[in-house]
Amino acid sequence: MKKTTLFLALVFLAGSVFAQRKTTTTAAVSFDASTVKDALPKADNKTVIGSIDTQTGAVAFEAAVNNFSFSNPKMQEHFNGANWMNSAQFPKFTFAGQIQKPGKIKYNKNGSYTVDVTGDLTIKDISQKITVSATFTVTDGKVKVSSAFSIKLADYNITGQPVEAGKVDKEPKVTVSAEF
């Protein structure tokens, strides 16, 4: 009887621990680096993995660089090439951070909660601390997260003739959306 009780207690504890972490493999990241000179520097990646820990507020995302899709295949080739993202050497973008005031989000109550998330965005092995506003929408236990912010390409050592010529915005807009 004691062994059965202990086993059931461990199963219950393990279930509650695993329920604290929500994951997805279909998050999406888009960026828009278009300018008045060129409307094409836009890309989407819909195969981003992400996780949130509903207890601690830890947030993480990882995007494969070569999964960003452009409307112009030549632009995608340049983006992944050695002079830009060099996806062979730097195959992923990552973000690891923390929800500020994680208790503000009620995962067991339907609603929309806007919070700041602070963490390290790593591109081409260069990490920069950023703080972004994110909206968490809870609907019947499902969590949707969305955020939009800008980054400075120079902070990640991304430069070149198209940036200097005004064909690529020096501070592209990044949009993240995920459903957990």
Q: Could you state, in order of their start, the residue ranges of all structural domains in the chain?
A: 21-179
Name the stretches of the chain with pLDDT < 70.
1-19
Q: How far is CA 71 from CA 37, 68, 151, 164, in A?
A: 17, 10, 22, 22
Angstrom distance (rounded) from CA 138 to CA 94: 24
φ, ψ of residue 53 to 5 degrees: the values are -105, 115
The closest of 28, 180, 12 to 107, measured between CA atoms, is 180
- In this prediction the pTM is 0.85
In CATH, 21-179 is 3.40.50.720: no
Given this model, what pLDDT does residue 19 score?
56
Given this model, what pLDDT does residue 110 score?
98
Given this model, what pLDDT does residue 17 score?
45
Given this model, what pLDDT does residue 40 score?
83
Q: Helix, strand, or coil here: 78?
A: helix
The closest of 80, 41, 46 to 63, measured between CA atoms, is 46
Eight-state DSSP code of residue 100 = S
